[in-house]
Amino acid sequence: MTNAVSDTTTAAAPRAGFVGLGLMGAPMAANLLRAGWQVTAWNRSTAALDSLVHAGATRAATVAELRDEPTIVFMLPDLGYIETAAQPLLDAWRTTPPAPGTAVVVMSSVSPERIRGFGQRVAEASGGNAVVVDAPVSGGTVGAEAGTLAIMVGAEPEAFGRLLPLFEAMGTTVRRMGALGAGSLAKACNQLIVGTTTAALAEAAELAERSGMDAGALFEVLAGGLAGSRVLDVAGPRLVAKDYTPTGPAKFMAKDLSFVLESAERAGSAAPLATAAREIYQTLIDQGLGEKDLTVVRETISRLGHIPAAP
């Protein structure tokens, strides 16, 4: 009796392919396993894939081996990487189309404009049987590991409903923001707030310390007032300690802010803060700091020097 129940449960377990086991992807895929999903994964380097297989996942030798999975998640640095990785999959679908309702779920931060074009190419290659859903996340490696990510979804209502159990295995705040591209636009807005707030906190820390004030004490009092925020809670201690150990490379913020500017131009919306922040994070990259944590923006601001005091 027990064995029969176990076999039935295994057979009925939901399935997903997963591509990209980096700082975010690896814990996200692990949470799917913990939630009872059968995960078949591919990753360019083997160490993270070996670890996930040890936890119960199945190894895919190529991305094309995921062609029969009902859902395929991509968590790679940018859409260019995803398009390259997905090409063998699309080639396989041109020969043998996938089952209707197959979903390609892009959970990376990508261009809201370009993701729509990718959706068209996937639809054409799959004979209309596969749909692209953009579902970028926020919460960093801490949220990825804890399964508490915020997930912003661009999808039609039916696809969103089918994929909700997948998202709920990785996040606690899941919202459909609109059709394809809306999830990426929501993430761009998220990054506008995170990027500018982190830079403002870094600037405040530099100003405080150059003026002889304890930046840690400043942040404690700010946290109790209107300036308090989740960004302050997470980034504040790192900014004070000048701890730039990467939880996610800072260089990606420049990319994300470029998506804000791209979307703002399309919508005819002014974006002065995004423009200024994009310049700051590009300077960060030019200074060779792009692989460090986002909080390294404090070092960037420090290197810009200070305005001499008036005589």
What's the pLDDT at 247? 85
The pLDDT, as a whole number, for residue 239 is 98
User: Is 187 known to be catalytic?
Assistant: yes
Give the gyration radius of the chain's Cα atoms: 21
The phi-psi region of residue 147 (left if phi > 0; otherwise alpha if psi is between -120 and 50; otherwise beta) is: left
Handedness of CA 53, 56, 60, 64 (dihedral sign): negative
Q: List pLDDT tens digits, range 277-308.
A: 999 999 999 999 999 999 999 999 999 975 55
Percent with pLDDT over 90 in the chain? 91
What's the pLDDT band for 3 if we cut at 50, 70, 90?
Answer: very low
Backbone torsions φ then ψ of 71, nearest 5 degrees: -140, 135
Instruction: Give the percent of the chain with pLDDT over 70.
Output: 95
Task: List, for residues 215-228, the tens digit of each pLDDT value.
Answer: 999 999 999 999 99
Q: Tell me whether the CATH fold assigned to 2-179 matches the one assigned to 186-303.
A: no
Is the pLDDT at 9 greater than 50? The verdict is no
| pLDDT-derived band at 170, boundaries 50, 70, 90 | very high
Domain at 186-303, CATH from 1.10.1040.10, 3.90.700.10, 3.30.110.40, 3.30.70.1450: 1.10.1040.10
Ramachandran area for residue 114 (φ above 0: left; ψ -120 to 50: alpha; else beta): alpha
Residue 310 pLDDT greater than 70, yes or no: no
Helices (H) and strands (E) in the chain, counts: 13, 9
Q: Is pLDDT above 70 for 194? A: yes
The answer to whether the beta carbons of residues 301 and 239 sit under 8 Å apart is no
pLDDT tens column, 68-101: 999 999 999 999 999 999 999 999 999 999 999 9
User: What residue ranges do the domains of the chain occupy?
Assistant: 2-179, 186-303
Tokens of residue 191, six digits: 């990054």
Name the helix (H) or strand (E) containing 236. Answer: helix 230-241
Given a cut of 70, whether residue 269 has pLDDT beyond it is: yes
Q: Which fold would CATH assign to domain 2-179?
A: Rossmann fold (3.40.50)
